[in-house]
C-alpha cells in the first residue's frame, strides 16, 4: 500500500511517502498558519511533480497535526488532489501505548507509538528537537511514564538574536572550541553545549526515576547536531514521528 503521512508541526510540515512500512521519500515545507487550501494544493502538486509522485497511486493519506487551524486546510487540499478523505490521528487514536493525558500532543503520542513498535522489550526515551524540546518516556508494555517540555533550541536561539542588538544569526553546529574568542563561536558553544548538557541531564534523571537504562532515540530538526556529541543518544531518526503517525493510521479507514 502506498500512503502519504503528513506531520503538521509548529515550524514545519513534514511529508513521508510510505510503501508498506517503509518510508521511501520525505520532504519538508514551512508551516504558515494562515495558508489557504488553494496554496497548499498548488505547492503539493509542484512537489509531487518534483518527486515524480502520481496522486492516483496513493491509497491512503494520514495526517497528524499540532496546528488545529491547518488541519482542515490540509484535509481540503488532500481531497482536491486525491479525491479521498484523509485519516486524522491524534492522542485518542487507539494503539499499544496508553497516552494517560488528555493534554498530550499528537507529535509526542506518535513518538511514543513509533518507539513502542520499533524498539520492543525495553524502556525508551524519545528526544524531539523541534519548536519545543521534548523528552518522553514509554515502558516496555506501552505505559506512558511521562514527558518533559522545554524551550526548543532554534526557538531559544531566535529569541536570543531578536532580543539583542549585537548578536548575529549563526549556524547551529559544533563550535571550534568550548571557550570562544569570537562572537559566533561563543554563541555556538552556548547553544550546542548548553542544550547538550540539558539533554544529558534529562536522560540521567529519567533513567534514575524509572530505575532503568533507557534506549534513547533522537528526532526533530536539529537532532543531527547533538547525536554525534554524546553516547547517551543511541540512535537519531528524523522520520521517527512520521513512522508513529503511520503506525497509528495504517489500519484505520
Please report, in tens digits, the pLDDT of each residue of the chain (253 residues total): 699 999 999 989 999 999 988 998 999 998 887 789 999 999 999 999 999 999 999 999 999 999 999 999 999 999 999 999 999 999 999 999 998 888 999 999 999 999 999 999 999 999 999 999 999 999 999 999 999 999 999 999 999 999 999 999 999 999 999 999 999 999 999 999 999 999 999 999 999 999 999 999 999 989 999 999 999 999 999 999 999 999 999 999 8
Q: Across the strands, what pairs with 138?
A: 124, 144
Residue whose C-alpha cell is 487551524: 69
Mark whether 213 is an active-site residue.
no
Cell match 498548488: residue? 42
Which member of 90, 107, 128, 237 is catalytic?
107
pLDDT score for 25: 94
Select from 46, 42, 44, 43 the least CA-distant residue to 61: 44
DSSP H helical segments within 66-149, as ranges? Answer: 68-82, 106-118
Cβ atoms of 78 and 58 within 8 Å: the answer is no
* List of long-range contacts for 222-231, beta carbons under 8 Å, 24+ apart: 222/129, 222/153, 222/154, 222/172, 223/127, 223/128, 223/129, 225/172, 225/173, 225/174, 225/192, 226/129, 226/192, 226/195, 226/196, 226/199, 228/174, 229/174, 229/192, 229/196, 230/196, 230/199, 230/200
User: Alpha carbon of 198 to those of 12, 42, 108, 152, 189: distances in Å?
Assistant: 24, 41, 19, 11, 13
The residues, ordered by sequence, that sit 6+ positions from 147 with a Cβ below 8 Å of its Cβ are 101, 104, 108, 134, 135, 136, 137
Contact between 88 and 46 (Cβ < 8 Å): no
**Strand 87-89 to strand 22-30: parallel, antiparallel, or no bridges (unpaired)?**
unpaired
Amino acid at each position: 500500500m502506498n500512503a502519504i503521512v503528513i506531520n503538521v508541526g509548529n515550524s514545519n510540515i513534514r511529508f513521508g511517502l510510505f510503501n508498506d512500512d517503509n518510508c521511501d521519500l520525505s520532504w519538508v515545507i514551512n508551516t504558515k498558519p494562515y495558508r489557504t487550501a488553494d496554496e497548499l494544493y498548488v505547492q503539493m502538486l509542484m512537489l509531487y511533480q518534483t518527486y515524480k509522485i502520481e496522486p492516483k497511486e496513493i491509497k491512503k493519506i494520514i495526517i497528524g497535526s499540532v496546528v488545529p487551524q491547518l488541519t482542515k486546510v490540509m484535509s481540503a487540499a488532500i481531497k482536491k488532489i486525491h479525491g479521498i478523505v484523509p485519516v486524522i490521528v491524534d492522542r485518542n487514536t487507539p494503539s499499544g501505548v496508553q497516552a494517560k493525558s488528555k493534554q498530550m500532543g499528537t507529535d509526542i503520542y506518535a513518538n511514543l507509538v513509533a518507539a513502542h513498535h520499533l524498539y520492543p522489550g525495553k524502556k525508551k526515551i524519545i528526544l524531539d528537537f523541534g519548536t519545543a524540546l521534548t523528552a518522553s518516556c514509554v515502558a516496555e508494555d506501552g505505559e506512558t511514564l511521562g514527558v518533559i517540555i522545554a524551550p526548543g533550541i532554534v526557538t531559544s536561539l531566535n529569541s536570543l538574536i531578536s532580543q539583542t542588538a549585537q548578536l548575529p544569526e549563526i549556524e547551529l553546529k559544533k563550535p571550534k572550541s568550548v571557550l570562544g574568542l569570537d562572537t559566533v563561536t561563543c554563541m555556538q558553544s552556548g547553544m550546542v553545549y548548553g542544550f547538550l548538557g540539558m539533554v544529558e541531564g534529562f536522560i540521567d534523571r529519567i533513567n534514575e526515576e524509572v530505575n532503568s537504562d533507557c534506549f534513547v532515540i533522537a528526532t526533530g530538526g536539529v537532532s543531527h547536531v547533538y547525536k554525534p556529541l554524546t553516547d547517551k543518544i543511541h540512535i537519531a531518526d528524523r522520520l521517527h514521528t512520521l513512522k508513529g503517525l503511520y503506525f497509528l493510521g495504517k489500519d484505520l479507514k
